[in-house]
Amino acid sequence: MPEKSSPTHLSSLPRPAAPAVAATGRRVPGRRWQLSVLSATVLTDNSESSVVSTLFAAMRQTLGMTLGHLGVLQAMSRVVGAVFGPLWVAVARRTGRKAVLVATGLWMGLFIAAGGLTREFWQLLVVYALAAVGAAAGQPIVHDVVADLFDEGTRGRAIGTMYGGITLAGAVIGPVMGRIAEVPGGWRTGFFVTGALCVLAALLVLCCFRDPGSGASESAARAQGTAPQAGAFSRVTLRRLFRIPTFGLMVVQRLLSGHLLMATFGIVFLTERGFSTGTAALIAVPTGAGYLLGSVVGGVVTDRVHRASPDHGRIWILQGLQLLYAVLAFLGTQLDWDGIGAYLLLFGVMAAVQGANPGVNRPVVMAVTPPELRGPAFAVLISVAEALAYALFNLGAGALGDTIGLQQVFLWVLVVLMLVNAAFCGVLHRTYAQDVARALEGRV
C-alpha cells in the first residue's frame, strides 16, 4: 500500500502561486443609494479647486492675478490636503467617518463662500487654504467607505459610476459658472453658490448616509481574518502599506499622472488661444460627458476584463489609458484648430480616457490592501501623492506658463510625462497578482 502522506510532508511541498482572483463578497443593503450620497461629497470637494480655475479669467483683473498666482493657489490647496488628509482619516477612525464628512463639508462651504468677499490676493489665499483643510477629508474617507460598500468584483463599476455622476453634475455647473463670470463682479457670486452647494452636500450626508462599517463587503472568511484598528498613521501602519510592492508603485504612478494639470489650466489654455471665458467654459459640457462615459463604461469594462484576466487585466487597461491620453493630448494641445469645435471634441475624448482611470487605479489599491489599511492607503495615495503631484504641476505650469507658454508646458507634462507613466505601469505586472493573493490570505 502507498504510504499515507503526513501533514508535515504535505506542508513541505511547494505551493503554486495563487492567482489574483476576486473573493466572493457580501452584498451591502442600500449600497447604491449610499454611493449617490457620497458622490455629492466628492463633487463639492472637487469644486473647491475647480471654482478658481473656472472663474480665474474674471478674478485676475479684479485681484491683479497672473498664471503664477493661479498655480500658487492650486498648489497650496494640495499641500494643505497632503497634511490634513491623513489627519482627517485618523480622526475618522476615532469619531466616525460620517461625523468627519459632515463637519468638514460645513467648514469647506463656509470658507469657499468667504472667498467671494476677498479684495486682495493674499486674502483669497488665506480663505482658500482654510477651505482646503475641509476639502482634504472627503476623497480618502469616501474611497474607504466605497470599498466597504462594494465587493471586489463590482468596485470598478461603483467607482466609475460615482465619478461619472460627479462629472455630469460638473458639466452643468461649469458653463453656468462661466456665464456668471462674465457679469461684472460675477465671480464673487460663483464663490457664494459653490459654498452653498458644499453646505447642502454636508446636510445630505448628515440626513441620509449610513456607514456600513469596516470590511462590510468582504467575504465572511476574510472579514473574520481582519482586525480593523482605531489607529491610522502610526509607523507600523505606514510600514505595512509600503511593504506592499503594488501600493508603492501606485503611489509613484500617481506622481507621474500629468493629466491632473488639465483641471486647472484647461480653460485658461483656451482663453490664451483667443476664446472668451464663457466660450472656453463650454468645454465643461463635452469633458463632463466624456468623463461620464469613460467613468461608467470604463468601470464596467474593467470589471469584466478583471474577471477574465485577474492577474493582469487591470494593469493592461491602466497602461493603455496613459498611452492613449498622451496621444490625444498631443492632438488637442500641440496643434492649432480653427474654432472651438475641434477642441471640444478632443478635450471630450481626453476626459473620457482620464475618467476611466479611477475605475482602475482605485480597485487596484483596494485589492492589495486589507480593510483596516484602506483609509490610510487612500490618504497616502490621494491626499499626499496626488496632492503633491498636483501641487508641483501647478506651481511649475504657473511659473513656466508666464514665460514659455502653456502649450510647451502641456507638451512636457501631458504628452512626454504620460508616455513615461505608461511605461512605468508595466512594472505592476510583476507585483499585482502576488500582492492580491497575500491580501486574500491575510498575509499583509
Give the chain's length: 444
CATH of the domain at 202: 1.20.1250.20
Taking the model in full, what pTM does it have? 0.73
Give Cβ neighbours of residue 207 (< 8 Å, ≥ 6 apart). Answer: none
Calpha distance 408→213 (Å, rounded) = 47
Domain for residue 419, yes or no?
yes
Whole-angstrom Cα Rg for the chain? 22
Calpha distance 138→389 (Å, rounded) = 18
Is 1 in a helix, a strand, or coil?
A: coil
Domain for residue 230, yes or no?
no
Domain for residue 20, yes or no?
no
Cβ distance 205 to 138 under 8 Å?
no
Domain for residue 214, yes or no?
no
Q: What is the pLDDT of residue 7?
A: 40
Q: Which of 261, 436, 422 is nearest to 365 (CA)?
A: 436
Calpha distance 132→222 (Å, rounded) = 36
Give Cβ neighbours of residue 384 (< 8 Å, ≥ 6 apart). Answer: 82, 85, 86
Q: What is the pLDDT along the chain (444 residues), one digit of tens a residue?
A: 444 444 433 333 444 444 444 445 678 888 888 898 888 888 777 666 677 777 777 777 778 887 778 778 877 887 888 888 888 888 988 888 999 999 999 999 999 999 888 888 888 889 988 998 988 888 888 888 988 898 887 888 888 888 877 777 776 777 777 777 777 777 888 888 888 988 999 999 999 998 888 777 775 545 444 444 444 567 788 899 999 999 999 999 998 988 877 877 788 888 888 888 778 878 877 887 888 888 888 888 998 999 999 999 999 999 999 999 999 999 999 998 888 899 999 999 999 999 899 889 999 999 999 888 888 898 888 888 887 887 777 777 777 776 777 888 889 989 999 999 999 999 999 999 999 999 888 777
Q: How many domains does the chain have?
A: 1
Calpha distance 46→74 (Å, rounded) = 12
Query: Rounded to whole angstroms, what are the CA distances from 412 to 75, 85, 435?
Result: 19, 29, 33
Task: Tell me which residue range forms the domain holding 36.
Answer: 30-208+237-440
Domain for residue 296, yes or no?
yes
Q: What is the pLDDT of residue 69?
A: 81
Cβ distance 232 to 377 under 8 Å?
no
Domain for residue 263, yes or no?
yes
Domain for residue 294, yes or no?
yes
Domain for residue 332, yes or no?
yes
Cα-Cα-Cα-Cα dihedral sign, residues 271, 81, 238, 395:
positive
b vs e for 334-358, b when ≥16 Cβ sit within 10 Å of the residue's Cβ? eeeeeebeebbebbbbbbbbbbbbb
